[in-house]
Structure 1
């Protein structure tokens, strides 16, 4: 394995570093103040479109989209994208400047892989252009959604339409006024097929009658404006049959194609968060004098930084290995490595950010550094795209079967 970045990736890394320095870091606090002001609730920060236009002009656009999705893809592999996503992850929300933000990335991959020409024209092209936003409606309050076979929202055929009924929650991005449609995973009951072939995915325009936003949900007492995370009731929501993706019963196959890349994209960005936290920590301990000595001279501080460095490097290498396996063998074969890094990365970032907060003292808990937000983001990402326990259970099952076969041989 060659651990050096290719000349193409190194060039893109340099471009993103320069772009972040010029356009992203300087406005970070301004944007954060805007989004946390109650007067601006559910309003995107006004400067975002200018930065997006600059990124598009610089060729730093849709970098996440795998190379097989020509002509829309910039031609990068998952392995090539990983260090670029890491840089974007240093600033919360910065991925949107490059049109590489969740949940739109997953929806773009779904539409690129499974959408009809009509669906791609109406929904994919505007997403790729950054002209609108979208949401992905999967999780439900009434069932344990980490087992997706439990999903109970129904999609029932009625003439030329499908009718959707059910309740969803933790649906991200819904409150953003730019959110134009949802992709919903629901149940298409059919007693003649197995339980895992009774779910489908369908496109629902956001202005369709029968959609009721029950409430936005807080995350650690934050509403995550402008997109938010919502609980939604779908009551007799009617859409044309042409909005179905692929066909009835293909929902789980589509979901696995979507969730693998989505999970590893989170991990790529998490590495960037951890890297930024350790850099802030190193700066702070060299500047801060306590009882006549710099913090950097204390053995416990040096140990914290050493441990943090080791943990970041371990997680970075595992992320790259998982991305490489996806490129070489596909998401299904790489699912053990994807599950492993999804378990490892968020907890690693929590640990690194916790040490960085401690080194900063009270300042580490304030808006004067990004560290507290990094810790909070890592904590809720341990639940996003499936809790640690679900990934560990599945990974353990895979490894028991694999290693038992080896031991038997």
Structure 2
């Protein structure tokens, strides 16, 4: 911005130099014309003086006396002739000089016109420069204002950058705390999972008890109806069976007490059921929340993400037992496939016609296939005619890649091939 500033004194000096230059250019033709005219006047004056001297010599008394003497006249004639010739030569020279001066005057006039035009052009250029100067001055002022604004914005951005740097450090600390909390949440999730299973078992027992109580209530209801019918019959023969009526009345009161007790017990069971349902919903929310966080977690290098799990496809080849040991060493286990989407995902991980070990075995009980986490096999994708335990010792499951979704096959656990881990 400082480079664009123009001092007012420099501007006034610039204007004076332009004006003086134009005046000097306008005065130069005038001076040349004046000099030429002065020379011409001097030549004409000299010619006139010569003619006057000639006539004075002719008309003077001395010339009259000279006529008497031929020699004097002849001498005078020679002098006059010589003077005339000299004057004629001077006149001719002055004529030539006059013509040259006229040509010079014409050239000077043209040069004057050109200079006049140049002056007008320079005057227009000066006006343009003055306009440009005013424009540049306005731009300078505007740039100064912009510079001040940009400087304020720069200071503000530096302040914001410092604040953001501090915020970033705070976020980094928060991220580390969240990583630690995630590990704690994982432990709590496992504990909640175990508690959920215990509560599910208790809930199933309560449902069975409720069903049993409802069955007993139905029986008591039928008994009550039968008693009511008997009571009606007994009431018709009241006079004959007063004793029996009194006994039946007492039985009715006892049944009513039992019915009231059963109603209260049913209400208590209903209250307990509502509490268990509320706890179940809360556990489901916690599970969904933790599941969402797990889905957002990144997998280690060379592991592939699907839903809430990470999958690793080995490049080495080992038997089924060694493959599982390798997965356990990595904090995982052989893959457990329990959905159509997971079946298709595993199929996409493999090359064409590639076979890999999965966490499927019937080594504990021949013909009863179980996953390595102890869960039963509910959804299967066996090859047609499989498993067949062809050699009698095919106790381990393998995955066969295909163009659609892949298939399972039973094979000997001693075979060496790649495997897939899941965690």
TM class, shorter-length: under 0.3
- Compare relative contact order (CA 8 Å, sep 6+) and give the higher one, 1 or 2: 1
Task: Name which one, 1 or 2, has greater alpha-carbon Rg.
Answer: 2
More strand by share: 1
